[in-house]
Amino acid sequence: MPPSSLTLNYDALLSTTLFNYRRKFEDAISTANAFYFLLKREGAIKTKDNIGERAQIALMYELGQADSYSGYDQLDTTPMDGITSAFFDWRQAAVPIAISGKEEKQNRSEAQLIDLLEGKTKQAEMGIVEFFNKRLLQGAGGTSITSAYTSSINGSSFIDPLPKLVAYDPTASVVVGNINQSTYTWWRNKTKNSTSTTYAGLRKDLRNLYNTCSLGPGGSPNLHIADQAVFEVYVAALEAMHQNPSYQKADLPFDTVAFNGQPVVHDEFVPDVQGGSATQSTTSGTWWMLNTKFFEVQVQADSNFAPTPFQKPVGQDAKVAHILWMGAALCSNRRKQGVAGGIDTTIAS
């Protein structure tokens, strides 16, 4: 009598198959979040084999003191200050993939089991994508959008959210990367409280914030993220000027329009920065202007959406694996970043 298919080494089969999905998890995150996508495309997702207590990124808060000279003039040899580091805590996340003994018996063949695992993996993928996007854009959620998400189960925290890295109130006494933005003016991002009630006024406010973020070396914002209502008002403003609002970029998998030649995307998790709430206002909204050149995501090499082997928990007829991530979101130049809040989404002309 031939052996039952249950004599297959299911643990090895499941673990090997799940390992092949590793790249898909990272791809799923990046194609659902424009910020993460551009960082990945520009090589700003850095994997680290050896990590210290905290993630570190170098900062330059003063420029080199260049000067002219002629012939045999003495050249300045004064050592330059103005270089320091920002430190961000390493944070971790995990999503489980579980297969019960009953499900295993109902899917006896290798093909059936792989199909089951694909469904379970897709479920896990969608869960971690939403978790990543919400926590990056909304932090702890509710009225704590500038605070890192904290688990109600174990008390651990996730990465610093965008409303903290690019703050609506950059003068508040808040420590970002181990540096207090209130104490050091060079560590403050740009901000704008929009009070415009017309399309022309909105465009003027956005140009002003863009130009302010563009001052000094380092270039201009190359990614704009807004909530849906603000995105639609901006599209209407372009259409009122009979401008083509499309942004043609074959490798950018998002619904976009253009602002100063750079993409504007909308995301359902963009919070109301003026109101300090994860719930979007019905009358006003948010627009981030980001220079991704000065952002970086550092990821521990062995925990970059890495699957663990399937194991059987004590006292359960099931097998469980986890997808693990460990990293930090860092910013090296906040002066080149900006955010506008209070944008009137009821503008009609």
In this predicted model, what pLDDT tens digit does every residue of 306-315 receive, in sequence order? 888 888 899 9
What is the structure's pLDDT at 23?
75
Q: How far is it, in rounded angstroms, from Cα 200 to Cα 239?
A: 12
Residue type, 53: E
Please state at what angle helix 10-19 crosses helix 110-138, rounded to 10 degrees: 40
**What is the mean predicted confidence (pLDDT) over 226-255?**
80
The residue written with tokens 């300090």 in the block is: 276
Query: What does the DSSP assignment read for 45-56?
Result: EEEESS--SEEE
Please state at what angle helix 110-138 crosses helix 22-30, rounded to 10 degrees: 40
Q: Are 187 and 176 in contact (CB under 8 A)?
A: yes
Neighbour-count burial for 70-99, b at 16+ CB within 10 Å, e otherwise: eeeeeeeeeeeeeeeebebebbebebebeb
- Phi, psi for residue 176 in degrees, rounded to 5: -120, 115
Dihedral angle at the C-alpha atoms of 199, 204, 207, 212, nearest 10 degrees? -140
Q: Are 137 and 268 in contact (CB under 8 A)?
A: no
For domain 190-294+333-344, which architecture applies?
A: 2-Layer Sandwich (3.30)
Three-class DSSP category at 308: coil
Residue 283 structure tokens: 């009358």
Residue ranges per domain, the chain? 190-294+333-344
Distance, CA of 162 to chain centre: 7
Long-range contacts of 301-306 (CB under 8 A, 24+ apart): 301/47, 301/48, 301/49, 302/49, 303/92, 303/327, 304/22, 304/26, 304/47, 305/22, 305/25, 305/26, 305/29, 305/128, 306/22
Which range scores top for mean pLDDT: 5-19, 106-120, 184-198, 298-312? 184-198
For the chain, helix (H) and strand (E) counts, in that order, are: 8, 14
What is the structure's pLDDT at 245?
63
What is the structure's pLDDT at 63?
52
Per-residue pLDDT at 61 exceeds 70: no
pTM to 2 decimal places: 0.87
What is the structure's pLDDT at 271?
97
Give the least confident one: 35-44, 154-163, 206-215, 340-349. 35-44
In this predicted model, what pLDDT tens digit does every residue of 63-112 receive, in sequence order? 556 666 777 867 776 655 556 789 999 999 999 999 998 988 888 787 88
Q: How confident is the model at residue 3 (pLDDT cuts 50, 70, 90)?
A: very low
Q: How far is it, in rounded angstroms, from Cα 286 to Cα 273?
A: 6
Mean pLDDT of all residues belonging to the chain: 87
